[in-house]
Amino acid sequence: MNGKVERSQKTDKSEFYATVDINSEDIQDKLAEWQHDYNWMRPHSALKGKTPMERYFELCEETPFSDEVQKQYNPSNERIQHANYKMDLEIAKLKRSL
């Protein structure tokens, strides 16, 4: 996910911020207009020529709401592994010896 965020920030910097006066009084309006165009109008090659909003609406039907996910979550099914370097090292040695 971090790579996608960094890529988005690079696009913001090169395509928007490099073209406007950031001290302009109407910078917020310009940013909102640019974001609308970027997300609603502009096809993206990474989305196979779809706009981000087209892809969002496609996935909307398949994506559960957070309350649905929370209802199905059972913490007792989670395997908790506490960091213990010495134990991890010993286990790795044992695995190699098998």
CA distance 12 to 53: 17
CA distance 95 to 2: 33
Q: What is the 3-state secondary structure (H, E, C) of 25-81?
A: CCHHHHHHHHHHHHHHHCCEHHHCCECHHHHHHHHHCCCCCHHHHHHHCCHHHCCCC
Total structural domains within the chain:
1
Q: What is the pLDDT of residues 57-87, one digit of tens each?
A: 999 989 988 899 999 999 888 877 778 888 8
Query: What pTM, to 2 d.p., does this model score?
Result: 0.61
Span 21-26, average pLDDT: 95
Q: Which domain holds residue 8?
A: 2-97
Reported confidence tier of residue 29, pLDDT bands at 50, 70, 90: very high
Using an 8 Å Cβ cutoff, are 52 and 39 in contact?
yes
